[in-house]
Amino acid sequence: MTTSQSGKKYEFKTIEDKWQRFWSENATYRTTEDATKEKYYVLEMFPYPSGKIHMGHVRNYSIGDVVARYKRMRGYNVLHPMGWDAFGLPAENAAQKNNSHPATWTYANIDYMREQLRQLGLSYDWQREIATCNPGYFRWEQLFFIEMWEKGIIYQKVTTVNWCESCQTVLANEQVIEGCCWRCDQPVMPRKMNGWFFKITDYAEELLADLEKLTGWPEKVVTMQRNWIGKSTGLTCDFPVDGRDEKISIFTTRPDTIFGVTFMSIAAEHPLLDALLPGGENEDEIRKFIDQIITEKQRKSNEEEPEKKGIFTGRYCINPFNGKKIPLYIANFVLMEYGTGAVMAVPAHDERDFEFARKYGLDIIPVIMPEGMTLIGESLDQAYTGPGTLANSGDFTGLPSEEAKGRIIAHAVDHGFGAPHVTYRLRDWGISRQRYWGAPIPMIHCDSCGVQPVPREQLPVVLPEDVDSGNSRCDPLHQRPSFYTTTCPVCNGPARRETDTMDTFVESSWYFARYTCPRLTEAPIDRDKASHWLPVDQYIGGVEHAILHLLYSRFFTKVLRDLGYLTIDEPFTNLLTQGMVIKDGSKMSKSKGNVVDPHDLVAEYGADTVRLFSLFAAPPEKDLEWNAQGVEGASRFINRIYRFVENNSQSLTNTPSPGQVLSEADRNLHRRTHQTIRRVTENIENNFHFNTAISAVMELFNVLSNATEKEKRNTVDPYYVKEAMNTVLLLLSPMIPHFCSEMWERLERGSIETVSWPQWDAEAAAEERLTIVVQVNGKVRSRLEAPADIEDRPLIDMALTDDNVARFISGKEVKKTIVVKKKLVNIVI
RNA sequence: GCCUGGGUGGUGGAACUGGUAGACACCCGGGACUUAAAAUCCCGUUGCCGCAAGGCAGUGCGGGUUCGAUUCCCGCCCCAGGCACCA
């Protein structure tokens, strides 16, 4: 067209401002329940309001927004909310630094980040926005706490907890990553402390079993959760201590090896030791050893396993199965927290026991023989842990190990010294945090009445705004007498409020339910609305939450169901875990200096370009390598479409209906248009592979611009040009909504929001002629153009007479020919 | 060590259910336009051989099944993530 505007670019700033204002003024994405449409709840993990959005957010929310916009176009009533995971330590640190209040910092960040999200053109229903630090939100969490406590799902205990010195607070097991704090990466120390626990272990079995239902989750996440829950089935069995009344209870998953027990190992912290050690031969030495082990255990190194060591207690146990007398050792590798804190040792069939036995010269007696082999204790160089046939096992000798397990458990039950037992690796969720900026635990300690919940009408328990003498505005609650001094709701006597606040993972465990009724003041959850919208149809976020947040949310869903608030068993039907955004091969981080600020990019290229690139560069589940030149490419593509619309506005707006007979050029473009609709739809429906969806649209656009090049004398009826152009805009509109809205308005004088996702016409999409590959002995030798419906025989004849094919088969006998319809012919010689 | 993924051009990535390997894009090279540059447009772009037609090799490595393997099977190597004395 006219060369003067050949390099013209669209004004993204004007266009994006215009449409963001339009969507906001018209409340385009406001959602209410609508019985006439199928509901679709798409949710992205809400952000911590750290200050400004980063590339991970851009990616996460771009993906979610495409899903939301796509589903709207497919006719769903889409719920797509956004909010803030607003409690947490960084707010306290910032407040300390600026001598202000955590709330001030947090709300300022929220305002700034909300604006940043708005500038990305994300289609949220902002009316439903929630911030978890708002008492209107966390008051309901306090109510849940009280109801859970009343139901016995919450308890207090003093245990060794994971203490992070730098955060000055306790961490849950899940929050310790390789011995370090999940947030600040500093080493975690053990510390004895009183704290509040959620009995997530009561739900262990259901959390495990329901993983089966999560067919819309990545297998990887399901596996990680299954391993985290760590169910083991086996036998608990009592081994009497020789000459004493005490019995040592052990748990084993290998009851079939019980005749191979040659010693016992017990944890250094085991309470029975206090009864067993006094009066022994070298008690002092043993005590010293115990102290040493306990200190070493506390120095949880995140490197290699410490060397196994132990000490003989001087006591013996009796194996109840064969009456054998076996020595009792204290061993550093036995965990007090798992099973019973004591294990039967079968060195022939357990690697740890083997190592220990070799070190201390203990017997190794094989009792499981692998197929066709006879193991001999002295000559073993490692434990045999596989299945086999029992040997040296009394009445059980000769049984296969799997069968023997059941028979041996039954024997223990019959004789009253054992029982079948299931144990889990999962521990209860410690939620006490010794911090200020969190939801206060709504409990009161009274010396005469014990622990009492805050009366419901007194909720919420809010954070104190005032400053106690000598304290800063965010010092923890246990340093604030004006907060904790109270009276007992039962006896009215002096009492002390609980000063721990809740783990911030509690807030994020139920926010998806609150979005269905965010402003409700009478109750935490509107049952009708919740059951209308839940479960979340598509949840999207980073894999880093595979265990923490996703397990807690599943747990909370079941608890809230049991408390009568929810009617679902699982919160998230489909889960998409998007990969990280990386640059120069590693995760973007300040310390690496490879951070790309979305703010700068949006300013330079516009939101649509940034969105398009982050969707195009990789499929959502894979890591995305940020590439500045790739962003240029995305921008270039949008501008090419823009110039096409500019240069062809005449023919794109005035399109008389075409005649009945389509020219070949018409049919080709029309076909390509419908093939593209099919490809894009399938790419989105199957697995949200927007990268291939976008490349399909790029191909269509390339075909479209080639087909209309005057120099090539291609004449396509404007009607099909317009069909292709409109299709390009509709298919891209979930990804680059501002641009497509603007172009659509120019061409169609209407709002693209009201247009449905295009349907493909299977007939139009069908190929007329195909390229058929001809192979000779599986190697490609030629390609043929043939009608799509060609029969096998004429196709084979065509193949055999092809020049190049003939060269390869000349003088040789054709043994057979294979025809794959619409694909290839293979001639075997 | 165990459990997941994954390994394809210079780069990001495509390839339905065993059937044209490298779509789409980035980079790069060449050209057009321009006084010049940018922008834009066109052509080329897995390697090797060849003027070309075409040929040979090629999806981490080694085997196998098959008319045909990136795809299925067996044995290795490497990378990423998760778990890690869980009895």
Chain A span 809-828 residues with beta carbon within 7 Å of strand B: 816, 818, 820, 823-824, 826, 828
List beta partners, residue A163.
A170, A189
Q: What Cα–Cα distance (Å) separates residue A43 from each residue in A23, A71, A515, A541? A: 19, 13, 10, 9
Q: Is the CB of A589 under 7 A from strand B?
A: no
At residue A301, the pLDDT reads: 53
From residue A169, alpha-carbon distances to A63, A86, A379, A467, A705 in Å are 35, 18, 51, 21, 62
* Among the listed residues A565, A560, A554, A562, the one whose alpha carbon sits nearest the alpha carbon of residue A525: A565
Q: Alpha carbon of A743 to those of A19, A112, A258, A739, A749: distances in Å?
A: 12, 30, 76, 6, 9
Helix (H) or strand (E) holding A476: none
Cβ of A99 near strand B (under 7 Å)? The reply is no
Distance, angstroms, CA A12 to C1' B34?
Answer: 27
**Taking Cα atoms as reference points, which of A580, A722, A597, A703 lies closest to residue A651?**
A722
Is the distance between the Cβ of A627 and the closest atom of strand B smaller than 7 Å? yes
Q: Is any atom of strand B within 7 angstroms of residue A692's beta carbon?
A: yes
To 5 degrees, how large is the angle CA A371–CA A375–CA A377?
Answer: 160
Q: Is the CB of A780 under 7 A from strand B?
A: yes
What is the topology classification, in CATH, of domain A769-828? Ubiquitin-like (UB roll) (3.10.20)
The parts of chain A modelled with pLDDT lower than 50 are 1-4, 302
Residue A382 beta carbon within 7 A of nucleic strand B: no
- Tokens representing residue A425 in the block: 């690796």
Which strand B nucleotides have any atom less than 7 A from protein CB atoms? 3-5, 11-16, 19-21, 23-27, 33, 38-42, 54-56, 67-69, 81-87
CB contact set of A753 (below 8 Å; sequence gap of 6+):
A28, A72, A741
Q: What is the DSSP string of A735-771?
A: TSHHHHHHHHHHHHSS-GGGSPPPPP-HHHHS-SEEE
What is the β-pairing status of strands A247-252 and A310-318? Answer: unpaired
Cβ distance A72 to A28 under 8 Å?
Answer: no
Q: Indicate yes or no: strand B within 7 A of the C-beta of A80.
A: no
- Alpha carbon distance A592, A600 (integer Å): 19
Name A residues 246-305 whose Cβ lies under 7 Å from strand B.
251-254, 267, 305
d(CA A286, CA A314): 10
* DSSP-derived secondary structure for A452-468: EEPPGGG---PPP-S--
- Spatial CA neighbour of A346 closest among A357, A336, A333: A357
| Listed residue (A701, A581, A681) closest to A631, CA to CA | A581
Q: What is the DSSP letter of A540?
A: E
pLDDT at A4 (0 to 100): 40
Please give the pLDDT value at position A42: 97
The predicted structure's pLDDT at residue A298: 67
CA angle A135, A136, A140 (to 5 degrees): 90
The label of the residue with tokens 């003939």 reads: A806
Contacts with A77 (C-beta within 8 Å, 6 or more apart), sequence order: A31, A33, A34, A37, A38, A39, A40
Total length of chain A: 829
Distance CA A385, CA A492 (A): 62
Shortest-distance nucleotide from A773 CA to C1': B20
CA of A305 to C1' of B77 (A): 26
pLDDT (0 to 100) of residue A590? 77
Residue pair A367/A260 in contact by the 8 Å Cβ criterion: yes
Q: How far is the CA of A689 from the C1' of B16 (A)?
A: 14
Beta carbons of A396 and A369 less than 8 angstroms apart: no
The separation, in Å, between residue A672 CA and nucleotide B25 C1' comes to 20
Domain limits, chain A: 152-199+429-500, 231-424, 628-765, 769-828
Tokens 């560069």 appear where?
A: A617
Residue A328 token pair: 């009792």
Q: Please state, as a whole number, how many other Cβ atoms lie within 10 Å of the Cβ of residue A156.
A: 15
CB A42 within 8 A of CB A99: no
Task: Give the CA-to-C1' distance from A346 to B86 in angstroms.
Answer: 16
At A263 the pLDDT is 96
Q: What is the pLDDT of residue A802?
A: 87
Cα(A541)–Cα(A548) distance, integer angstroms? 13
> Contact, A533 vs A41, CB < 8 A?
yes
Tokens of A493: 């006597």
With beta carbons less than 8 A apart as the criterion, state whether A313 and A280 touch: yes
Exposure on the CB side of residue A491, measured as CA atoms within 13 A: 13
What radius of gyration do chain A's Cα atoms show? Answer: 34
Q: Supply the DSSP string of A654-712, one letter for each residue.
A: --PPP-SSPPHHHHHHHHHHHHHHHHHHHHHHHH--HHHHHHHHHHHHHHHHHHT-GGG
Measuring from the CA of residue A697 to each C1', which nucleotide is nearest?
Answer: B24
Q: What is the rounded CA–CA span in Å between residue A291 and residue A288?
A: 5
Q: Please tell me the predicted confidence (pLDDT) of residue A713.
A: 57
Q: Note whether A534 and A526 are within 8 A (CB).
A: no
CATH topology of domain A628-765: Isoleucyl-tRNA Synthetase; Domain 1 (1.10.730)
The DSSP line for A368-395 is EE-TT----GGG-SS---S--EE-S-GG
Evaluate if the CB of A457 falls below 7 Å from strand B. Answer: no
Q: Give dist(CA A624, CA A587) in Å, integer.
A: 10
- What percent of chain A is modeled with pLDDT above 90? 68
Nearest-angstrom CA–CA distance, A809 and A776: 8
- Which of A264, A283, A272 is closest to A334 using CA atoms? A264
Q: SS3 for A85-99, per residue?
A: CCCCHHHHHHHHHHC
Nucleotide nearest to A303 (CA to C1'): B84
Residues A84/A132, Cβ–Cβ less than 8 Å: yes
Give the C-alpha separation, A160 to A628, whole Å. 49
Query: What's the pLDDT score for residue A656?
Result: 76
Q: Can you name the residues that pair with A725 across neighbouring β-strands?
A: none
Alpha-carbon separation of residue A111 from A83, A106, A115, A626 (angstroms): 11, 9, 6, 27
A771 touches strand B (CB under 7 A): yes
Backbone angles phi, psi at A609, to 5 degrees: -65, -45
Chain centre distance of CA A712: 52
C-alpha to C-alpha distance for A505 and A528, rounded to whole angstroms: 26
Nucleotide nearest to A625 (CA to C1'): B12
CATH superfamily of this structure's domain A231-424: Valyl/Leucyl/Isoleucyl-tRNA synthetase, editing domain (3.90.740.10)
In this structure, the strands spanning A188-198 and A429-430 are: antiparallel
Nucleotide nearest to A815 (CA to C1'): B67
Query: How would DSSP label each residue in A481-537?
Result: HHHHEEE-TTT-SEEEE---EE-TTTGGGTHHHHTTSTT-SS-S--HHHHHHHPSEE
Distance A825 CA to B54 C1' (A): 20
Measure the CA–CA gap between A685 and A38, rounded to whole angstroms.
Answer: 16
What is d(CA A183, CA A174) in angstroms, rounded to the nearest whole number?
Answer: 12
CB contact burial A324-333 (16+ within 10 A = b; e otherwise): eebbbbbbbb
> From the CB of residue A533, how many other CB atoms can be counted at a distance below 10 Å?
23
Amino acid at A138: F
> Is any atom of strand B within 7 angstroms of residue A778's beta carbon?
yes
| CA of residue A670 to C1' of nucleotide B33, angstroms | 33
Structure tokens at A98: 């600026």
